[in-house]
Amino acid sequence: MSTLRKVNELGQSIWLDNLSRTLLREGGLQNLIEVDGISGVTSNPSIFQKALEDSAYYRDDLARLKATEPDAERRYEALVIPDIQAACDLLQATFEHTHGDDGYVSLEVSPRLAHDSDGTMTAARRLAAAVNRPNLLIKIPATPAGIIAFEQLVSEGYSINITLLFSLRQTVRIFEAYIRGLKQRQAQGGALNNIKTVASLFLSRVDTLVDQRLSTLNSDAAQALQGHAALSIAKLAYQRYLDLFHSPLFAELAAAGARPQYLLWASTGTKNPAYSDVKYLEPLIGKETINTVPDATLSAFRQHGKAASTLSDGIGDAEADYRALETLGLDLNEIGDTLQNDGLKLFADAYEKLLASS
């Protein structure tokens, strides 16, 4: 059995953080589903920018669209929506087998709308209608405007991947917004059992910035904490998840069919070569979670990763590391906000480059 399938048996879904027509048309995604049990796909502007640059399968459609569609955003959507639909179709069996708990594909709204709640909601509704697949997650950044849009869209019954989370505070706010949206929908008489949301917590970028700040402190205590921040935040976020979604606070909504909002580990490719190339996989395997993995990290875990239930191990150490970082003067909430702004800029830059080339 594939090591990745063993992770699935432990209750964690492994999704692919990549999508392109090459993967779709040459059978790469189908093979990952069949052999490794890959059960979802995430995409973003950076991924599609690379896909359009690297894959020849877009050229004819792009030439046709440039001759017939003057709007660059509409050209981009016309190129990628068929890819999203094809991936959804490949994962439809997973979606059905898990009764709608897995088998999803994410499509992000325009980064231009990150601070526009009304625009985000309009785009989300339009994209969901255009893709027209039950296993689509509309991807929305967790900005203040994005949270407003997220809560309203949940109340309308949409399934959402709320993304660009980098701190405990941001994550808990998303959990709370999800519950408010569910309660609004319940009060309106709407069904809760057809809604799926995930909260995408980014990891390696946290360590990159925290390690940079720790390196300026020139102390043994600071050096000892390098590489600890992201895993501490992730493990503590999972404890918050358990405290909220497996408690009487959520029991009434669960009885009405509501699903917990799973944590999704994102940015799980190791950026520091001094760290293990499966650093953000092996210690974070646990029930009711998702890890979306880039190709290189997927390959590394397939070759030498160990599948074991680890997510609830070392919670005391995670709490101690978190407190120690704060004692050294690192404001992890401020760091999370900084990283979210940086992430928005990265996606916006990739999106503008994508539009310029499409």
66 has catalytic annotation: no
8 A C-beta contact, residue 96 and residue 82: no
HEC letters along the chain: CCHHHHHHHCCEEEEECCCCHHHHHCCHHHHHHHHHCCCEECCCHHHHHHHHHHCHHHHHHHHHHHHHCCCHHHHHHHHHHHHHHHHHHHCHHHHHHCCCCCCEEEEECCHHHCCCHHHHHHHHHHHHHHHCCCCEEEEEECCHHHHHHHHHHHHCCCCEEEEEECCHHHHHHHHHHHHHHHHHHHHCCCCCCCCCEEEEEECHHHHHHHHHHHHCCCCHHHHHCCCCHHHHHHHHHHHHHHHHHCCHHHHHHHHCCCCCCEEEEECCCCCCCCCCCCCCCHHHCCCCEEEEECHHHHHHHHHHCCCCCCCCCCHHHHHHHHHHHHHCCCCHHHHHHHHHHHHHHHHHHHHHHHHHHC
- Cβ neighbourhood burial of 354 (10 Å; 0-12, 13-18, 19+): buried
> Exactly one of 139, 196, 235, 279 is catalytic; which is it?
139
Mention every residue, 6+ apart, whose C-beta is less than 8 A from residue 326. Answer: 332
8 A C-beta contact, residue 189 and residue 255: no
Residues classed as catalytic = 139
